[in-house]
Amino acid sequence: MALLEVRDLRVSFDTPDGTVRAVRGLSFDVEAGQTLAVVGESGSGKSVATQTITGLTRGAKVSGTAYFDGTDLITADPATLRRLRGAQIGMIFQDPLSSLHPQYRVGWQIVEMIRAHDLTIGKQAARKRAAELLSLVGIPRAAERIDDYPHQFSGGMRQRVMIAMAMALDPALLIADEPTTALDVTVQAQVLNVMRRLQEQFGTAIILITHDLGVVAEMADEVVVMYAGAVMERAPRRDIFYRNHHPYTQGLLASLPARSGDRLTPIQGTPPSLISLPKGCPFAARCSHVFDKCSEPPPLADVGGDPRHQSACWLPHDVNEAVAS
């Protein structure tokens, strides 16, 4: 059994304009110690899906299951979710300032986090642990900087603080939602390195949300490609890059610079409205391969090759013959 098993997750929001179907039947597994990357353009439902799993989506209609270590997170009561969040499931977001309180010293915030979940630990021990964590994520002079405020850290260093806080209780799963998007490339690489090092050290599973396939190439074991709230393709990392099947995956790859200076080909057009989705393939309006059959919704089906490789597209299902892009 996988550490996290999400099945047929559906999330919708009632709005004055109609029902926004943000996540439409999402299923995936996260294995202990492995990294699952969730990729897709803005608005594809990456954040809504993971926030729903951790009980952070307000005012939504939710169905499906998300078993984490035997507990269904979708039906779990708020107290159970609060206990799991932080202790068992750590979270980091794109903007650390939205998660770190600006008026409290970072060390104090980590200490409070630790003490909220571990009632047996004393203040001094928690403070020592906080300093250790800050040094573990590569903050120079951690013992002194523990008394600094969030704004006294650079963007990259703040993201390291967030990682320290998320890892403070040695969670089994870390959910990182665009953790490096706001950072420049060099700092991004450093922060990803920190995550990878901690993962090796502690055996943490990671769900890494990103729209950057470069980050996927660096980090992922398996990849879920989302579009308009649904999975378009799912596969081990190598297959996504070298034996991909779905035209949307190919479109994302074509918009990734292989070498700096290469010309990019962004996917033309925009995603469909999540209020009035087309009946057939959601990608049809932008797909250069579209044909008659695409007016019916393509199911997520095995494409041959690796049994973990699936695609929701009507094109022939032999990835060996698929155009490598």
Ligand X SMILES: Nc1ncnc2c1ncn2[C@@H]1O[C@H](COP(=O)(O)OP(=O)(O)OP(=O)(O)O)[C@@H](O)[C@H]1O
In the complex, the residues that contact ligand SF4 under the rule CB under 6 A are 246-247, 281, 283-284, 287, 289-290, 294, 298, 313-315
Q: Which of 299, 94, 52, 98 is nearest to 211 (CA)?
A: 94
The size of the interface with Mg ion (CB under 5 A), counted in residues, is 1
| Nearest-approach distance from CB 273 to ligand X, in angstroms | 9
Rounded Cα distance, 132 and 118, in Å: 17
Q: C-beta of 211: minimal distance to ligand X in Å?
A: 5
Partner that binds at residue 150, options ligand SF4, ligand X, Mg ion, none, CB closer than 5 to 8 Å by kind: none
Least spacing, CB of residue 290 vs ligand SF4, in Å: 4
**H helix or E strand, kind and range, residue 223:** strand 222-227
- 181: which 2 tokens? 């998007």
Q: Kindly state the smallest distance separating residue 97's Cβ from ligand X, in Å.
A: 17
Report if residue 260 touches ligand X, rule: CB under 6 A.
Answer: no
- Candidate segments 40-48, 158-166, 191-199, 256-264, binder of Mg ion by CB under 5 A: 40-48
**Is 179 a residue that touches ligand X (CB under 6 A)?**
no
Residue 24 structure tokens? 């439409």
* Contact call for residues 158 and 150 (beta carbons, < 8 A): yes
Q: What is the DSSP string of 111-180?
A: HHHHHHH-TT--HHHHHHHHHHHHHHTT-TTHHHHTTS-GGGS-HHHHHHHHHHHHHTT--SEEEEESTT
* 111 near ligand X, rule: CB under 6 A: no
Residue 76 binds what, of ligand SF4, Mg ion, ligand X, none (CB under 5 to 8 Å, by partner type)? none
Pairing relationship of beta strands 310-311 and 89-92 according to DSSP bridges: unpaired
Q: Which does 12 bind (CB under 5 to 8 A by kind): Mg ion, ligand SF4, ligand X, none?
A: none
Q: Binding of ligand X at residue 45 (CB under 6 A)? A: yes
The β-bridge relationship of strands 173-177 and 222-227 is unpaired
CB closer to ligand X, 26 vs 134: 26
Strands 89-92 vs 222-227: parallel, antiparallel or unpaired: unpaired
47 binds Mg ion (CB under 5 A): yes
| Shortest separation between residue 177's beta carbon and Mg ion, angstroms | 6
- Judged by CB under 6 A, the chain residues 114 through 133 that form the site for ligand X are none
Cα separation, 21 vs 11, whole angstroms? 6
9, 68 Cβ separation under 8 angstroms: no
Taking CB under 5 A as the binding criterion, the range among 39-47, 152-160, 161-169, 272-280 that sits at the site for Mg ion is: 39-47
Residues that bind Mg ion (CB under 5 A): 47
Which residues of this chain interact with ligand X, rule CB under 6 A? 13, 15, 20, 22, 40, 42-48, 211, 274
